[in-house]
Amino acid sequence: MDKIKLNVLGLSYSQTQTGAYALVLAEEDGKRRLPIIIGTEEARSIAMQLEGIKPVRPLTHDLFLSLANSFNIELTEVNIVRVEQGIFYAKLICIRKRAKIIIDSRSSDAIALAIRFNCPIFASEKVMRKAGIYFDEKTGKMIASDENSEEKKKDEKKSYKDMTIKELDKLLKIVVEEEDYETASVIRDEITSREPNSGNDDKNITV
């Protein structure tokens, strides 16, 4: 899985769902944001940890941390692996006595645990393409990718120029599998432009 590292940017009250909150994750080396709608209790748990507030009695995520520490279980990373109908799915990557353990989790619980274990949070490139939103630094607004397609294309072209042929070939296979043929065409053009005799019409990559 191609992983994109994310940082917790903040929480805000959801404008679309009553009694819910939007947890916003920011791409560490990019402009994309990943908003995730979570429940009140999960938002409270995340907010308290971010603000350094210690509850009188341990919350569920604090209890999980205590249990993990007691049994020498380390949470090494959290991966948001897919999104379906607005629901995000995550996996906890744990280590115990050199054994790797993968546990399915709700994304809100996974992030609440990640900030307690101080471990990295990642999302797959497929998730970011499907649910990510671009942040416009000039206006300070978040823009849906379909409203910002031209800027997205420019950013992608710049990033593609920094990638090796091997990396481009790997990414091309991924976007073809996702049936994102528009992006595949851009990647194909970048690969073709680097080939010897790239002006020869006989040398094409079929997508």
pLDDT of residue 155: 54
> Is 72 in contact with 96 (CB distance < 8 Å)?
yes
Asked whether residue 66 carries a pLDDT value surpassing 50, the answer given is: yes
Which strands sit side by side in the sheet containing 74-84, from one edge to the other? Answer: 99-106, 87-96, 74-84, 121-124, 3-13, 20-27, 32-39, 133-136, 141-143
pLDDT of residue 207: 43
Instruction: Please compute the mean of the pLDDT values over residues 155-165 and round it to a whole number.
Output: 71
Lowest average pLDDT, out of 114-118, 127-131, 174-178, goes to 174-178
70 Rama sector, left if φ>0, alpha if ψ -120 to 50, beta otherwise: alpha
Among 3.60.15.10, 3.90.600.10, 3.10.690.10, 2.60.130.10, name the CATH number for the domain at 3-131: 3.10.690.10
- Give the pair of three-digit tokens for residue 200: 């020869």
Instruction: Please compute the mean of the pLDDT values over residues 60-69 and round it to a whole number.
Output: 95
Cα–Cα distance between 39 and 27 in angstroms, integer? Answer: 22
pLDDT band at 137 (very low <50, low <70, confident <90, very high): low
The domain locations on the chain are 3-131, 148-194
Check residues 137 and 150 and name the one with the higher pLDDT.
137
Distances 18 to 26, 45, 66, 105, 166 between C-alpha atoms, Å: 24, 18, 32, 23, 47
pLDDT in tens, 72-94: 999 999 999 999 878 899 999 99
Asked whether residue 25 carries a pLDDT value surpassing 50, the answer given is: yes
The mean of the pLDDT values for the chain is: 82
Instruction: Please compute the mean of the pLDDT values over residues 53-58 and round it to a whole number.
Output: 90
pLDDT band at 186 (very low <50, low <70, confident <90, very high): confident
pLDDT of residue 203: 40
In the block, which residue shows the tokens 């919350």?
59
